[in-house]
């Protein structure tokens, strides 16, 4: 199986850049499943039904997210719509009873594919549960389905926490990728036991800013410590960061990081 994964897609420019390169990537790599992180889809923070429909209608199959998934109230419309809720998960280690699911079992061809979303706790303002233990519990809960592929989006700040989780999941997950920092770490490798791993895929969005945001305001914020409005251009030079994971009978056999520059 070949899985194409996009990290955080940031705002309109990121969406358009991904959709510009997606058909070629899907064809060139013979992709079976396309997954993207959706927490920054709408204006850089949050997700809406419209932005999900746009991406679903143009080749993305499924979405993970992170702490910013709640930043627009329209996400509750997403989770109350059975068709859209079936395509988006939120971190599994949020408190019990909140909208959405933290994992999803997909059928891709003849294979059962389990996708899990987790939120890191180091440097996070969210009082989430232990992602390591929640991963173990989620695997156990889906054991009856005997998923042949297990995919994990670990959304977090700390590279140490992500790396530790990669080793925790080694041999049990087919792939673990990091999101949230928007900067590609380029440490892609296959861990012992057949787990494809990268600490952070990197974002798809405005390239000449600061993690997707227009740079002038961010520089001002660092120099003055005063709050600033995050502005994200709709056009300009965009970067697309993604990975292609190849799996076989005994787990992942390869992981490749991809980077494309697109003028929007």
Return left, alpha or beta for 231; rule: phi > 0 is left, psi -120 to 50 is alpha, else beta. Answer: beta
d(CA 127, CA 162): 17
Q: Which residues of 138-165 are buried (b: 16+ CB within 10 A; e: fewer)?
A: bbeebeeeebbbbbbbbbbbbbebbbeb
**Candidates 29, 53, 68, 144; catalytic one:** 68
The residue among 197, 205, 198 whose CA lies nearest residue 241 is 205
Give the distance from CA 79 to its chain's centroid: 18
Give the distance from CA 243 to its chain's centroid: 11
Pairing verdict, β 111-119 and 149-155: parallel
27 exposed, middle or buried (CB, 10 Å; 0-12, 13-18, 19+)?
exposed
d(CA 8, CA 6): 7
d(CA 221, CA 211): 14
Q: Is 53 a catalytic residue?
A: no
Catalytic residue ranges: 68
């Amino acid at each position: 199986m070949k899985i194409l994964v996009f990290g955080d897609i940031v705002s309109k420019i990121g969406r358009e850049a991904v959709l510009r390169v997606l058909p070629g990537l899907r064809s060139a790599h013979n992709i079976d499943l396309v997954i993207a992180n959706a927490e920054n889809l709408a204006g850089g923070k949050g997700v809406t039904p419209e932005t999900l429909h746009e991406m679903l209608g143009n080749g993305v199959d499924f979405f993970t997210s992170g702490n910013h998934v709640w930043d627009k109230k329209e996400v509750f419309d997403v989770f109350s719509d059975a068709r859209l809720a079936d395509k988006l998960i939120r971190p599994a280690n949020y408190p019990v009873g909140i909208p959405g699911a933290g994992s999803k079992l997909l059928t891709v061809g003849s294979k059962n594919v389990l996708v899990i979303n987790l939120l890191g706790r180091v440097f996070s303002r969210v009082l989430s549960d232990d992602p390591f233990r929640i991963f173990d519990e989620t695997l156990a809960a889906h054991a009856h389905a005997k998923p042949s592929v297990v995919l994990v989006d670990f959304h977090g700040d700390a590279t140490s926490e992500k790396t530790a989780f990669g080793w925790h999941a080694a041999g049990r997950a087919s792939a673990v990728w990091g999101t949230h920092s928007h900067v590609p770490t380029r440490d892609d490798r296959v861990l012992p036991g057949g787990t494809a791993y990268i600490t952070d895929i990197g974002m798809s969005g405005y390239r000449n800013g600061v993690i997707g945001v227009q740079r002038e305001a961010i520089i001002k914020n660092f120099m003055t410590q005063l709050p600033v409005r995050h502005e994200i251009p709709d056009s300009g030079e965009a970067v697309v960061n993604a990975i292609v994971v190849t799996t076989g009978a005994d787990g992942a056999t390869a992981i490749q990081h991809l980077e494309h520059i697109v003028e929007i």
